[in-house]
Amino acid sequence: MNLSVQLAPKNKRGLLLANPVMTASGTCGYGTEEGYPFDIQRLGAFICKGITLKARNGNIQPRIIETADGMLNSIGLQNIGVDALVKEKAPVWVKWRVPVIVNIAGTTVDEYTTLAAKLDDVAGISALEVNISCPNVEAGGAEFGVRAEPAAIVTAAARKATSLPLIVKLTPNTGDIAGVALAVAAAGADAVSLINTLKGMAIDIDKRKPLLGSVTGGLSGPAIKPVAMAMVYEVANAVDIPVIGCGGIINASDAIEFIMAGASAVQIGTASLVSPGALLDILDGIEQFMSERGIEDIKELIGAARH
Ligand SMILES: Cc1cc2nc3c(=O)[nH]c(=O)nc-3n(C[C@H](O)[C@H](O)[C@H](O)COP(=O)(O)O)c2cc1C
| pLDDT at residue 139, as a whole number | 84
At 55-64, the pLDDT tens digits run 999 999 999 9
Pairing of strands 64-67, 70-73: antiparallel
Give me ligand 1 centre to Cα 273, in Å: 11
The pLDDT confidence band at residue 307, using thresholds 50, 70 and 90, is low
Q: How far is the CA of 249 from the centre of ligand 1 (A)?
A: 12
Residue 287 CA, chain-centre distance (Å), reads: 22
d(CA 79, CA 185): 28
Cβ proximity of 247 and 229 under 8 Å = yes
Atom of ligand 1 nearest to the CA of 26: 5
Mutate which of 27, 115, 212 to test ligand 1's pocket (most atoms within 8 Å of Cβ)?
27
Q: Is the pTM of this model over 0.85?
A: yes
The whole-number average pLDDT for the span 194-205 is 97
For 135-165, the pLDDT digits (tens) are 888 888 889 999 999 999 999 999 999 999 9
What pLDDT, on a 0 to 100 scale, did the predictor assign at position 135? Answer: 87
Alpha carbon of 291 to ligand 1 centroid (Å): 31
Greater model confidence, 36 or 189: 189
Mutate to test the pocket of ligand 1, among 21, 22, 23, 25 (most ligand atoms within 8 A of CB): 25
Ligand 1 pocket test target in 227, 270, 272 with most atoms within 8 Å of CB: 270
Distance, CA of 239 to CA of 178 (rounded, Å): 8
Nearest ligand 1 atom, CA 133: 11
- Tell me the average pLDDT across 97-113: 97
pLDDT band at 34 (very low <50, low <70, confident <90, very high): confident
Average pLDDT of 207-224?
97
Virtual CA dihedral for 172, 156, 51, 39, nearest 10 degrees?
80
| Average pLDDT score over residue span 293-305 | 98
The percent of residues above 70 in pLDDT, for the chain, comes to 100
CA of 202 to the centre of ligand 1 (A): 18
As a whole number, the mean pLDDT across the chain is 97
- The residues that are catalytic are 134
Residues with CB under 6 A from ligand 1: 24-27, 49-50, 73, 75, 77, 103, 131, 169, 196-197, 220-221, 224, 246-249, 268-271
Atom of ligand 1 nearest to the CA of 224: 25
